[in-house]
C-alpha cells in the first residue's frame, strides 16, 4: 500500500479557542476525520502546524488526514497577588488545548506589563518590582492567534516586623563604651542593618549608660541598663540589656584622662587610643575611643586601686606606626586620674637626591610631611629649586620620625 499525500485542513476553533493552520503531512500520519493528535506540538512561529509521529500507522487511501489542535486559553502563573518592592518573580504561560492537553508557552508568548514603572517584565517572563507601591497587570499574548492570558499583581514595600540589637546582652568589665547596631526583620524575609537615620537610640537608666545617635553607649558605672532602638517611621522597637561589672572586689569608680602628642609634640590626630588596665586577681578592663584634639577621656571607670596601664594608639586611616607603652598606676584619692603620652622619636642624617629617598633610606615608616620630617641640612629649599637641581644632585638631609613607643607617665 502506497503512502497517501494530503494536506491538513484549517480547523475553525471552538468558542473561545484559536485556529491552528494547515501543514504538509509528508512526514505525518493522517488521522480519521475529527480525531485529535495525541499530545501534538504547538509551534506559534508556524501557526497551525501539527507535528505527527515519525512512524505513521497503517491506513487506507480513502481516509482523509485531518488533525485538530485548538488553543482554548492561556493561564498565567503564579497568581500570587503581591510582590515586594525590589524583588523578582518568574511568570509562566501555560496553553490549554482542546482535548485537555497543556503546553508551556513561556518562551513563545509576548510578555507585557500595564505599568512598567511598577512592575517590569522581560521576554522570558521574569518580572521585577520597582521600588514603588502600585498595581500592574501582567499579560502573555500568543503571537500566532492574538489570544492572551493575564494576572494582576500588587507591589508593596516590605514591612518592618522586628528589630534585633547587636551585641545581645553584653557584659562590660569596668565600663568605658560599647557600640551597638540594629538589624531589622522585614516581611519579605530580608534582614538589613538599620542606619542612624532610621532608628532612635535610648538607654535607661542614664546613671548606668547613655547612648548617642550612632549607637555608641557610654557606661557610667556598675549596674545594668536597657538599650533600645526604635524605628522612626513604624515605631517598631528592639532592646537588649548591657551589664557593667566591676573587675574585682575593692574596685573603685574613677574617671581617666589621657593627653596624647605625636613625636613633634603636637596633638596626635587620626588615631584611636586603647587603654588596658590590669591588676592581680582581677579581670582586665579595656576601653578605647578616638583621640580628639590630642586627648582621650574615659568617665566613671571601675578600676582596682593599683595595677598596670598599657596605652596604645592605632591609626584610623593611613597606615602609621602604632606606639604603645606599659607603666604602673595607682588610683588617686579623688578627682580624675590623668596620664600624658608623648610618642618617641628618632633622627638620622642621610645623603639622597629627594626627601622621599632620604626617608626610605633610613627606614622611616609613614608619609613625608605628615608623620615624617625631612629637613635639608643648611636650610630648606623651595620646590622649584629642588626641581632645578635635577635627580642627579645629592643633598644631605636630617630625617626625624615617630617610633613605636610612648613616653607615658601618670601625672
Task: Tell me: do 19 and 140 sit in the same domain.
Answer: yes
CATH code of the domain covering residue 189: 2.60.40.1080
How confident is the model over 324-373, as pLDDT tens digits?
Answer: 999 999 999 888 999 999 999 888 898 888 888 888 888 877 778 777 88
Last residue of a domain, one of 210, 245, 280: 245
Query: Do 167 and 215 touch, CB atoms closer than 8 A?
Result: no
Average pLDDT for residues 213-220, to the nearest whole number? 92
Share of the chain above pLDDT 90, in %: 54
301 lies in a domain? yes
Poorest-pLDDT segment among 16-25, 144-153, 284-293: 16-25
Q: Which residues contact 222 (CB under 8 A, 6 or more apart)?
A: 175, 208, 244, 245, 246, 253, 302
User: Average per-residue pLDDT in the chain?
Assistant: 82
pLDDT of residue 387: 61
Task: Tell me: do 111 and 235 sit in the same domain.
Answer: no
CA distances from 267 to 28, 101, 260, 261, 371 (A): 93, 83, 6, 4, 12
Task: Tell me: do 11 and 92 sit in the same domain.
Answer: yes
User: Who wins on pLDDT, 23 or 61?
Assistant: 61
393 lies in a domain? yes
Q: Phi-psi region for residue 6, left (φ > 0), alpha (ψ -120 to 50) or beta?
A: beta
235 lies in a domain? yes
- What's the total number of domains in the chain? 4
Task: Tell me: do 31 and 128 sit in the same domain.
Answer: yes
Last residue of a domain, one of 303, 324, 343: 343
Peptide bond into 167 cis (omega under 30): yes
Task: Tell me: do 294 and 373 sit in the same domain.
Answer: no
**Strand runs labelled E in 306-394:** 306-315, 324-330, 336-352, 372-376
CA distances from 391 to 45, 115, 179 (A): 74, 67, 51
Poorest-pLDDT segment among 31-35, 135-139, 252-256, 306-310: 31-35
pLDDT of residue 404: 86
How confident is the model over 124-134, as pLDDT tens digits?
Answer: 999 999 988 99
Task: Tell me: do 167 and 149 sit in the same domain.
Answer: no
pLDDT of residue 375: 87
User: Who wins on pLDDT, 359 or 57?
Assistant: 359
Task: Tell me: do 8 and 151 sit in the same domain.
Answer: yes
Split at pLDDT 50, 70, 90, the class of 35 is very low
Average pLDDT for residues 166-177, to the nearest whole number? 94
Provide the greatest CA pair distance for the chain: 121
DSSP string, 8-24: PPPB---TT-B-B----
Average pLDDT for residues 138-164, to the nearest whole number? 95
C-alpha to C-alpha distance for 158 and 237, rounded to whole angstroms: 17
pLDDT of residue 393: 62
Task: Tell me: do 30 and 148 sit in the same domain.
Answer: yes
Q: What angle do CA 228, 232, 236 make, to 5 degrees?
A: 55
Domain that holds residue 264: 252-343
pLDDT of residue 364: 79
Split at pLDDT 50, 70, 90, the class of 54 is low
Task: Tell me: do 7 and 107 sit in the same domain.
Answer: yes
The answer to whether residue 29 scores a pLDDT higher than 50 is no
Within a 10 A sphere around the Cβ of 39, how many other Cβ atoms? Answer: 11
Task: Tell me: do 9 and 147 sit in the same domain.
Answer: yes
Last residue of a domain, one of 184, 218, 245: 245
The answer to whether residue 137 scores a pLDDT higher than 80 is yes
110 lies in a domain? yes
Amino acid at each position: 500500500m502506497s503512502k497517501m499525500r494530503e494536506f491538513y485542513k484549517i480547523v475553525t476553533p471552538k468558542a473561545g479557542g484559536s485556529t491552528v493552520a494547515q501543514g504538509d503531512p509528508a512526514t505525518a500520519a493522517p488521522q480519521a476525520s475529527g480525531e485529535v493528535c495525541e499530545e501534538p506540538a504547538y509551534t506559534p512561529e508556524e501557526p497551525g502546524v501539527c507535528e505527527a509521529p515519525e512512524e505513521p500507522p497503517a491506513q487506507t487511501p480513502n481516509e482523509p488526514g485531518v488533525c485538530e489542535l485548538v488553543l482554548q486559553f492561556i493561564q498565567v502563573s503564579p497568581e500570587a497577588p503581591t510582590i515586594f518592592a525590589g524583588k523578582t518573580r518568574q511568570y509562566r504561560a501555560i496553553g490549554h488545548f482542546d482535548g485537555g492537553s497543556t503546553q508551556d508557552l513561556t518562551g513563545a508568548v509576548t510578555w507585557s506589563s500595564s505599568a512598567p514603572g511598577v512592575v517590569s517584565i522581560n521576554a522570558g517572563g521574569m518580572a521585577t518590582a520597582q521600588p514603588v507601591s502600585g498595581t500592574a497587570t501582567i499579560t502573555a499574548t500568543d503571537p500566532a492567534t492574538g489570544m492572551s492570558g493575564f494576572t494582576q499583581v500588587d507591589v508593596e514595600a516590605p514591612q518592618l516586623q522586628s528589630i534585633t540589637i547587636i551585641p545581645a546582652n553584653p557584659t562590660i568589665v569596668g565600663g568605658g563604651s560599647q557600640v551597638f547596631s540594629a538589624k531589622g526583620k522585614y516581611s519579605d524575609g530580608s534582614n538589613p542593618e538599620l542606619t542612624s537615620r532610621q532608628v532612635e537610640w535610648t538607654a535607661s537608666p542614664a546613671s548606668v549608660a547613655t547612648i548617642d545617635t550612632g549607637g555608641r553607649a557610654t557606661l557610667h558605672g556598675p549596674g545594668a541598663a536597657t538599650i533600645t532602638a526604635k524605628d522612626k517611621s513604624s515605631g517598631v522597637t528592639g532592646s537588649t540589656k548591657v551589664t557593667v561589672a566591676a573587675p574585682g572586689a575593692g574596685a573603685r569608680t574613677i574617671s581617666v584622662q589621657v593627653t596624647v602628642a605625636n613625636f613633634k609634640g603636637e596633638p596626635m590626630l587620626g588615631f584611636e587610643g586603647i587603654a588596658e588596665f590590669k591588676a592581680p586577681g582581677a579581670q582586665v578592663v579595656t576601653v578605647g575611643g578616638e583621640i580628639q584634639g590630642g586627648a582621650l577621656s574615659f568617665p566613671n571607670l571601675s578600676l582596682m586601686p593599683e595595677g598596670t596601664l598599657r596605652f596604645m594608639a592605632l591609626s584610623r586611616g593611613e597606615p602609621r606606626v602604632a606606639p604603645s607603652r606599659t607603666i604602673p598606676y595607682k588610683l588617686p584619692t579623688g578627682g580624675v586620674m590623668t596620664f600624658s603620652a608623648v610618642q618617641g622619636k628618632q633622627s638620622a642624617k642621610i645623603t639622597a637626591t629627594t626627601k622621599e629617598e632620604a626617608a626610605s633610606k633610613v627606614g622611616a615608616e609613614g608619609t613625608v610631611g605628615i608623620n615624617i620630617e625631612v629637613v635639608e641640612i643648611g636650610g630648606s629649599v623651595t620646590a622649584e629649586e629642588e626641581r632645578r637641581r635635577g635627580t642627579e644632585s645629592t643633598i644631605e638631609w636630617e630625617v626625624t620620625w615617630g617610633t613605636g613607643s610612648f613616653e607615658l607617665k601618670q601625672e
